[in-house]
Each structure stands twice: as structure tokens, then as C-alpha cells.
A and B are shown apart, each in its own frame.
Chain A
Amino acid sequence: DSGVTQTPKHLITATGQRVTLRCSPRSGDLSVYWYQQSLDQGLQFLIQYYNGEERAKGNILERFSAQQFPDLHSELNLSSLELGDSALYFCASSVSGASGDTGELFFGEGSRLTVL
């Protein structure tokens, strides 16, 4: 058990819909990362938050957004869903300092999104 909690574990929805994925980081970790894992693209970094503020942005679509709340949990919002958004979405957390972090991440079990 990594200490990172993600909900829901599985989600099935239709095209055009909107979903929210939730992540609670390990106790004491200030950084939260979101990754998308698909068969064709592998593990793609989406976005990172540190202590409530966006720190880095990767290949995140404009239809997707995220935020980190004062209690440090994070939500990833996916809207206007398309078939191609079907993937496993991982949240990870780490202890980050003011000058960045080591890169050692602790991953949750993922949320598997299926868009029909």
C-alpha cells in the first residue's frame, strides 16, 4: 500500500460526459501528480500541483483540468469525453521542497476510465 488513495477505481461513462477523479496523497506529501496510461501512449504526465498551486504542466488537454485543495487532496476533471480518453489515470505524490523534488513518486492504484 503506497498510501495514495484514488477514487473511483473504475468508471464507465458516455462520450460527451464529464467525470471527476479524486486523489488523496500520502500523509505529509505536498506534491500531487496526474498521469494518464494508455496502450498506445504509455505513461503520459498530465499535471503537477505543489501545496495547492500548479507547478508543472505536461500533455494535458484543454478539456481536462485539475486542482489541489487546502487539505492537499486533488481532483482531475475530464469533460466532453471522447472514446480516446479511455485510459488508466494515476495519481502520485511526493515530498517536494522549494527547489523541486527527487522524482521518487508514490503511486495510487489508478482510476480506470472507460468511455463508450
Chain B
Amino acid sequence: AQSVSQHNHHVILSEAASLELGCNYSYGGTVNLFWYVQYPGQHLQLLLKYFSGDPLVKGIKGFEAEFIKSKFSFNLRKPSVQWSDTAEYFCAVKGSGYSTLTFGKGTMLLVSP
């Protein structure tokens, strides 16, 4: 069975600080990887995704993530966060075929102005 581990449950940053949220997964085969974001009071939205190809993927709002296959990692980064990035971030993995999308427990990011 696949699983996802997010390293930090809560992160507090000041505006303009750099962000890196860790995500590791366990699965024996090919995976599709995702970061979803949930702004306060809203539904989950796709931030970025990796299916294949360039392991450095860019998403919306200046976010990017790097897939490192040897480390089973898919860390999320942003060079300079804004107050509006305050949200909960979920890493998710899906294996091949009929396997379902599995989410990590989420990281709550609070950006202070």
C-alpha cells in the first residue's frame, strides 16, 4: 500500500522568506505526485503535479516541486512567500492502475505580514 509522509505539521514564516515543505512517499512502482492547497474555508485545489519527464515541475503562484526518485521525495518550494500563501498544503501520491490517491496529513503554513 502506498503512503505519504509530510515532515512538518506547522510552519510559520515571515513574508519574503523562502519555503520548502518536505514530502516522502512509499510505493514500489511508478507514481503520479501532487501538491494540493487548501486556503482557509475553501476546498482543495491543485497546486502542481508530476506525471513524468522533467522532475522539476512548476505550478501556480510561483510554487515548484522537485521529484527525486532515489529519495522517494517530492518537496515543495517557493523562493519568497506572501501572506496570501497562508493555507494548508497536502502532498499526494497515486500509484498505477486502480490505486487511489493517498494524501499526507498536511502542513499548515502561516505567513506573517
Q: Which residue of A lies closest to B99 (CB)?
A: A100
A110 to B41: give the CA distance in the assembly, Å.
Answer: 10
Q: Which of A12-20, A40-48, A67-75 contacts B (4 or more CB under 8 A)?
A: A40-48
CB <8 Å contact, A100 and B96: yes
CB <8 Å contact, B100 and A102: no
A87 to B93: give the CA distance in the assembly, Å.
Answer: 23
Contacts A2-B43, A2-B45, A55-B98 given; indicate if A104 touches B34 (C-beta within 8 A). Answer: yes
- Count of residues in B whose CB is under 8 Å from the partner chain: 25
- Count of residues in A whose CB is under 8 Å from the partner chain: 25
A106 to B34: give the CA distance in the assembly, Å.
Answer: 12
Contacts A103-B34, A104-B34, A104-B49 given; indicate if A45 touches B43 (C-beta within 8 A). Answer: no
**A contacts, CB < 8 Å to B:** 2, 4, 33, 35, 42-43, 45, 48, 55-56, 58, 90, 92, 99-110
